[in-house]
Amino acid sequence: MECKENWVDTRTVYIGNKEPPPGAEAYIPQRYPDNRIISSKYTFWNFVPKNLFEQFRRIANFYFLIIFLVQLIIDTPTSPITSGLPLFFVITVTAIKQGYEDWLRHKADNAINQCPVHEVQHGKVIRKQSRKLRVGDVVLIKEDETFPCDLILLSTSREDGTCFVTTASLDGESSHKTYYAVQDTKAFITEEDFDTLQASIECEQPQPDLYKFVGRINIYSDRNDVFCVFFRPLGSENLLLRGATLKNTQHIYAVAIYTGMETKMALNYQSKSQKRSAVEKSMNAYLIVYLCILISKALINTVLKYVWQADPDKDEPFYNQKTDTERQRHILIRAFTDFLAFMVLFNYIIPVSMYVTVEMQKFLGSYFIMWDDEMFDEELGERAQVNTSDLNEELGQVEYVFTDKTGTLTENNMEFIECCVDGYVYVPDAICNGQVMPGSTSMDMIDSSPGPGGRESEELFFRALCLCHTVQVKEEETVDGIKMGIHQNKATSFYISSSPDEVALVEGMKRLGFTYLRLKDSHMEILNREDEVERFELLEVLTFDSVRRRMSVIVRSTTGEYYLFCKGADSSIFPRVISGKVEQVKARVEHNAVEGLRTLCVAYRKLSVAQYEETCHLLNSAKLALQDRDRKLAEAYDLIEKDFVLLGATAVEDRLQDKAADTIESLQKAGMKVWVLTGDKMETAAATCYASKLFRRSTQILELTTKRTEEQSLHDVLFDLSKTVLRQHSSMTRDTFSGLSADCVDYGLIIDGATLSAVLKPSQEDSSQGNYKEIFLEICRNCSAVLCCRMAPLQKAQIVKLIKSSPEHPITLAIGDGANDVSMILEAHVGIGIMGKEGRQAARNSDYAIPKFKHLKKMLLVHGHYYYIRISELVQYFFYKNVAFIFPQFLYQFFCGFSQQPLYDTAYLTLYNISFTSLPILLFSLIEQHINMDILKKDPSLYRDIAKNSLLRWPIFIYWTFLGVFDAIVFFFGSYFLFNNSTFTSNGQMFGNWTFGTLVFTVLVFTVTLKLALDTHYWTWINHFVIWGSLLFFVIFSLLWGGIIWPFLNYQRMYYVFIQMLSSGPAWLSIILLIVISLLPDVVKKVVCRALWPTTTERIQVASHFTSVTPLLAKRTKVLFE
């Protein structure tokens, strides 16, 4: 593997913490952390400072802290409470939430750290608290217990030294995995035995990779007074991970090697890098604009203030003198404090509550994904998971979808279809107990019945498939105690394996008459057609990896012959074959691949004893290596797996997932480009693509494969393709949205891994050739579908990265189910994991996890769309309502001598964003549905309406801002003309400045809330409750706030102001008038735009509105006619 494995230094663990016998290397006691797990972030003592520090690292919080401090230090127009209270509120809520979470973590930690473990000490079992466990301790684990730390398995209660483990809590795979005890310690089965064991383990320092472990055990024995040391390699098959659970094994003995925070699991839960959504980016851009507006407002006012004050009679008229200290202050200091004071006065334009609301919206909103009934899969019993709620709205912005094939598009539910031995095709579809049905229907290749030689290779082929695998047989007792043997030939699967292909193959063999029974004492037992048990000794397993794309086993038959059986992808087998009917098999493999079947080739090699010895030697030396073991193993495998005799090929069908084609079609209609990235071979992948309607009949396929690049240089191929594509592109009308209409040709590109890496290779010395990358991108951009086959996991991520960094910076989504998709899931803007059969790594590393591919449709088209609509309205509305809030205050400065006199009362300033206008928008952003979700699903093209962040573009943002400014001007000058030099009470009494502010504020609150009401398309009872409720709350609050002389306040300026205002008729009239004027332009704009330039969304809204009305009308007319 090219994975950079830095050899960190090793640790030596002495089993039982006993000193090694003299003569071995020097005993250096090392210090390791104890087995205490600390997942909590805070302690009781550092919670307050640490939490505060973390919170103020957020820019928004820091900004408000600064404002607060400024208010404390200088004489500002508003009291520090106005910004202190909201800040305090936000900080406290967050702190309580985090504190509670941390308390839960503490509790969980304590529960784990104090749970008892059994340690073997001096031949006795001692109970101990888990946290007191040290590296080197030998522990006894009983069935169904969870491993307290990372352990090396020394011996088990099972004779063969294996134990079964489920890692359900680690990666969600509930299948039982087999782990092996160290060969030399297998025999230590009592506590006393371990007292005599003297051994040390050398292993790497802790690393987070769950599936990789290299180590070596040194066993010292001085039996017969001869001191000797055995070395034995340790691999991940010996390592029991903390968090996994022991199953089907009475007890085991194991030695702790990594403890506490050094366990692989603890190392794995470091946070991933943060992904940010496009909406967040535009939000930040808007913030900067508003910050500029804020600063310029403050600057303008400061300058004007000093211009205005140049006249001393204005600065200090006789009625309004300054104090001496004020007078003595230097003018620059005064100007600066004035500037700060203006900043403070206008700071509400950047609302503290927006962040809280956005976070709440995301957090609460994500529950709708989890709650979605339609995204629940009965079969798996799983529902959609949300791992990061930060990206909800990004689901509505996806432009590129990168999908894995196996397990994502397809079921990953393999079914054995046929096998081909030397050109004879066997189809087990008619299951007639072991009877072979040569597929007479299909191939012309089939000659007459196979001769005796054919029969022999046929049986060898079947045996090969029965032996060459890592399938385990689930024991009878595990299946709910029901005794069901394999012999009974039931279709129920008793085979378990990490690879579904293998299970399919072994089951297929069973149907063809060869049944794999079990692995017992290193012997594999198969039941052949004559119901005889054949035993093969399993000597070596050369495990599968995605680079080699094959696996092998070495077995010894009862007759003492050594065989190496190998199965693997055709491309990795054929070059190593020296004899066999290569041509026929190859033809059949290709034929099957075109059909969309997964093919594997099977080959064998007979080994002589000498060859076997050599093989053993090679393997052992590689396995014993502590450094670069993977590389050495790969080299050894490469040497061993050669000179094959080809036996035949198998074909396994991987059916398309339910509604995969429909989903892909919808995604394409929604304007997304779907790319399939697969490790599979081209023909198979292409067939899947056709089946899933990624490619249509009409699609013109462009190939960029090794086959073509062998004929022409890569350069020419690329230019040819780009020419083809671009010619068509230029002739095409500019109406890109009709790209789906049948009249224009759409292209599909197929590229393979090797060519891709050639394309992506950084441009070499001849840079005159230009960068292939760009040409490639250009081609890809004009193709409606792209298929990348033969991809290594890293290449998948590379592709995603390539598209991500292309000039338009499209939003990418990667979806996959296997470990090989993790890199691409992490790379893409949105990573979606499928809770598939190949384990849970993908789901664990993803941002969202769904049970099936088809759920992607609802996820994107419905949820993504909704979230985007909601959050964009939320963001725009927040800025709008704060402009409308603060701009009158800005205007007021021109009428109060730029003295920073606030227009509104402190309570209004403080509560405007917290309580008067917060809930309606939060609720809107949670449950708004501008269109019914059924329509969204039915009509994917609606997704295009929100593509490219269209609701947060600058023109729309500017429109909202201007709307806010317009409303503010209406509020302010409406009230101004009403107040201007006149009275509007029927008793002749006058109103003061606080009534003025209250009037503006009342109009403001009503307008802003009603504006949201006008934007709401989905009025549930909750909306009614919240919108009218918050208006009512404002009125009640105002009545109360002005109704009492508040004893704790040092001013009573609001006393009876609101009530007096309401007692005047013109105030009511002007409130109504101003609300109408403020809302009018927006309504007119909406209506006119909808009538003259309707978007697709709006058309559909109207249409669906009519369809819901028309049945009624139709009924009525019917009645009339009758």
Partner 1 sequence: MASNYNAKEEDGHQPAAIGHGGAGTVKNKKPDNTAFKQQRLPAWQPILTAGTVLPAFFVIGLIFIPIGIGLFVTSNNIKELEVTLTNYSVWLAIFHPCYNCSQSYSWNSTKPCTCSVPFSLDQPFESNVFMYYGLSNFYQNHRRYVKSRDDSQLNGDKASLKSPSKECEPYRTSDEKPIAPCGAIANSLFNDTLELYYIDPNGSRTAIPLVKKGIAWWTDKHVKFRNPGGNDNLTVVFQGTSKPVNWRKSVYELDPSDPDNNGFINEDFIVWMRTAALPTFRKLYRIIHKKPNMTPTLPLGRYILEVTYNYPVRSFEGRKRMILSTISWMGGKNPFLGIAYITVGSVCFFLGIVLLIIHHKYGNRNHSADIRS
Known binding positions for ATP: 404-406, 502, 544, 567, 598, 678-680, 790, 796, 820-821
Residues 6+ apart with CB under 8 A from 1072: none
Distance CA 648, CA 577 (A): 11
Distance CA 869, CA 867 (A): 6
Please pick, from the candidates 224, 273, 274, 449, the single residue that binds partner 1 as defined by CB under 8 A: 274
Cβ closest to partner 1, residue 776 vs residue 979: 979
Annotated binding site: 404-406, 502, 544, 567, 598, 678-680, 790, 796, 817, 820-821
User: Are the C-beta atoms of 939 and 1091 separated by less than 8 Å?
Assistant: no
Asked whether position 323 contacts partner 1 by CB under 8 A, the answer is: yes
Residue type, 958: I
Dig out the tokens for 201 from the structure.
């383990």
Cβ closest to partner 1, residue 69 vs residue 1087: 1087
Distance CA 887, CA 964 (A): 8
Dig out the tokens for 831 from the structure.
């990573």
Please pick, from the candidates 996, 1001, 1034, 1058, the single residue that binds partner 1 as defined by CB under 8 A: 996
Distance CA 119, CA 136 (A): 11
Of 241, 214, 11, 234, nearest to 631 by C-alpha is: 214
3-state secondary structure at position 40: coil
**CA dihedral sign, ordered 981, 986, 989, 994:** negative
Distances (CA, A) of 609 to 612, 613, 854: 5, 6, 53
Least distance CB 492 / partner 1 (angstroms): 19
Please pick, from the candidates 1106, 1113, 1116, 1117, the single residue that binds partner 1 as defined by CB under 8 A: 1106
Interface map 200-239 toward partner 1 (x if CB under 8 A):
----------------------------------------
Asked whether position 451 contacts partner 1 by CB under 8 A, the answer is: no
Cβ closest to partner 1, residue 100 vs residue 962: 100
Binding region for partner 1 (CB under 8 A) out of 96-104, 466-474, 655-663, 805-813? 96-104
Please pick, from the candidates 50, 97, 122, 124, the single residue that binds partner 1 as defined by CB under 8 A: 97
Alpha helices in 146-274 (DSSP H): 168-171, 191-196, 264-268
Cβ closest to partner 1, residue 789 vs residue 856: 856
Residues 6+ apart with CB under 8 A from 766: none
Of 534, 475, 466, 527, nearest to 502 by C-alpha is: 466
Q: Which of residues 338-357 bind partner 1 (CB under 8 A)?
A: 355
Question: Is 404 designated active site?
Answer: yes
Distance CA 417, CA 141 (A): 44
Please pick, from the candidates 989, 1111, 1119, 1121, the single residue that binds partner 1 as defined by CB under 8 A: 989
3-state secondary structure 249-278: CCEEEEEEEECHHHCHHHHHCCCCCCCCCH
Residue type, 22: P
Q: What is the CA radius of gyration of the chain?
A: 37
Distance CA 258, CA 152 (A): 9
Q: What are phi and psi of 698, to 5 degrees?
A: -80, -10
Asked whether position 995 contacts partner 1 by CB under 8 A, the answer is: yes
Residue type, 417: I
Least distance CB 538 / partner 1 (angstroms): 28
Q: Which of residues 106-165 bind partner 1 (CB under 8 A)?
A: 107-109, 111-112, 146-147
Interface map 625-664 toward partner 1 (x if CB under 8 A):
----------------------------------------
Q: Which of residues 859-878 bind partner 1 (CB under 8 A)?
A: 866
Binding region for partner 1 (CB under 8 A) out of 57-65, 609-617, 649-657, 945-953? 57-65
Least distance CB 168 / partner 1 (angstroms): 4
Distance CA 476, CA 493 (A): 11
Cβ closest to partner 1, residue 641 vs residue 873: 873
Strand partners of residue 567: 551, 602
Please pick, from the candidates 30, 43, 169, 205, the single residue that binds partner 1 as defined by CB under 8 A: 169
User: Are the C-beta atoms of 885 and 347 separated by less than 8 Å?
Assistant: no
- Which pairing describes strands 400-404 and 673-677: parallel, antiparallel, or unpaired? parallel
Q: Which of residues 23-42 bind partner 1 (CB under 8 A)?
A: 37, 39
Least distance CB 943 / partner 1 (angstroms): 16
Least distance CB 518 / partner 1 (angstroms): 23
Asked whether position 670 contacts partner 1 by CB under 8 A, the answer is: no
Binding region for partner 1 (CB under 8 A) out of 448-456, 713-721, 821-829, 989-997? 989-997
Interface map 1078-1097 toward partner 1 (x if CB under 8 A):
--x--xx-xxx-xxx-x---
Q: Which of residues 232-271 bind partner 1 (CB under 8 A)?
A: 242-245, 247, 265-266, 269, 271
Distance CA 69, CA 800 (A): 46
Q: Which of residues 959-978 bind partner 1 (CB under 8 A)?
A: 974, 976-978
Q: Which of residues 1051-1080 bind partner 1 (CB under 8 A)?
A: 1051-1053, 1055-1056, 1060, 1064-1066, 1069-1070, 1073, 1076-1077, 1080
Please pick, from the candidates 273, 710, 1050, 1119, the single residue that binds partner 1 as defined by CB under 8 A: 1050
Binding region for partner 1 (CB under 8 A) out of 495-503, 653-661, 789-797, 1045-1053? 1045-1053
Least distance CB 303 / partner 1 (angstroms): 18
Please pick, from the candidates 48, 104, 533, 726, the single residue that binds partner 1 as defined by CB under 8 A: 104
Least distance CB 1066 / partner 1 (angstroms): 5
3-state secondary structure at position 763: coil
3-state secondary structure at position 777: helix
Residues 6+ apart with CB under 8 A from 45: none
Binding region for partner 1 (CB under 8 A) out of 317-325, 446-454, 461-469, 958-966? 317-325
3-state secondary structure at position 399: coil
Q: What are phi and psi of 861, to 5 degrees?
A: -70, -35
Distance CA 512, CA 709 (A): 42
Asked whether position 1019 contacts partner 1 by CB under 8 A, the answer is: yes
Cβ closest to partner 1, residue 339 vs residue 376: 376
Q: Which of residues 689-748 bind partner 1 (CB under 8 A)?
A: none
Of 183, 163, 38, nearest to 107 by C-alpha is: 38
Q: What are phi and psi of 199, to 5 degrees?
A: -160, 160
Of 400, 283, 273, 285, nearest to 806 by C-alpha is: 400
Q: In the 8-state DSSP scheme, what is residue 22? A: B
The total number of residues shown for the chain amounts to 1122
User: Which of 404, 501, 945, 1082 is flagged as catalytic?
Assistant: 404
Please pick, from the candidates 1, 8, 59, 307, the single residue that binds partner 1 as defined by CB under 8 A: 59
Interface map 385-424 toward partner 1 (x if CB under 8 A):
-xxxxx----------------------------------
Q: Which of residues 890-929 bind partner 1 (CB under 8 A)?
A: 895-897, 899-902, 927, 929
Residues known to be catalytic? 404
